[in-house]
Amino acid sequence: MLHTPHQSLQAAATIPVQRTPERDDQAGPWHADAVCRRDEAGLFFAPSKEPTAARLSREQAAKRVCARCPVLVECREHALVMPEPYGVWGGLTAAERRVVLSRRRRAAQAAAAGQPTTEVPRIA
Ligand code: SF4
């Protein structure tokens, strides 16, 4: 989210530009309904030097917030299309988004080559 949906506790220099208030208008109408817009600060982005166990716990907590968010699908697709390099968006971590994008690229390449694909079509 344009974190603004969720506000990061990271230092300003490390906050992804896509999540700054100036970019809110580019996020689309879904942004106003983001559950994380006002709450959950600090859940969605890793502080520097976060231990692995703490990161996994924080990410699971963020995903629980996303699970009750009415704009999860829109948020996730936004993060994939941008692509957003950091944080939890639409219930996916950055690593999970990289996997989705990799699968989409392979599916697109297979389709271009006329090969069958099992990839789920892009949303929106
Ligand atoms: S899906 Fe998660 S990250 Fe996206 S707007 Fe909703 S709560 Fe925020």
> What residues does ligand 1 touch, defined as CB less than 6 Å away?
1, 5-6, 34-36, 44, 65-66, 69, 71-72, 75, 88-91
3-state secondary structure of 40: coil
Name the burial class of residue 13, with classes exposed (0-12), middle (13-18) and buried (19+) by CB atoms within 10 angstroms of its CB: exposed
Choice among 4-13, 30-39, 112-121 with the minimum mean pLDDT: 4-13
Amino acid at 92: L
Q: Using CA atoms in the order 77, 91, 56, 5, what is the torsion angle rounded to 10 degrees?
A: 80
Name the burial class of residue 29, with classes exposed (0-12), middle (13-18) and buried (19+) by CB atoms within 10 angstroms of its CB: exposed
Is the model's pLDDT at 16 over the cut of 90? no
| Model pLDDT, residue 5 | 57
Instruction: Report how far ligand 1's centroid is from the alpha carbon of 57 (Å).
Output: 17
Angle at 57 between CA 52 and CA 58, to 5 degrees: 95
| Model pLDDT, residue 38 | 72
All structural domains of the chain with their residue ranges: 30-112
For 87: left if phi > 0, alpha if psi spans -120 to 50, otherwise beta; the answer is: left
Per-residue pLDDT tens for 35-69?
Answer: 998 767 689 999 999 999 999 999 999 999 999 99
Is the model's pLDDT at 12 over the cut of 50? no
Taking the CB of residue 107, how many other CB atoms lie within 10 A of it? 18
Per-residue pLDDT tens for 78-121?
Answer: 999 999 999 999 999 999 999 999 999 999 999 999 987 766 55
Q: How far apart are CA 38 and CA 20, in angstroms?
A: 14
Instruction: Report how far ligand 1's centroid is from the alpha carbon of 53 (Å).
Output: 22
Q: Specify the higher pLDDT residue, 122 or 112.
A: 112
| Model pLDDT, residue 37 | 84
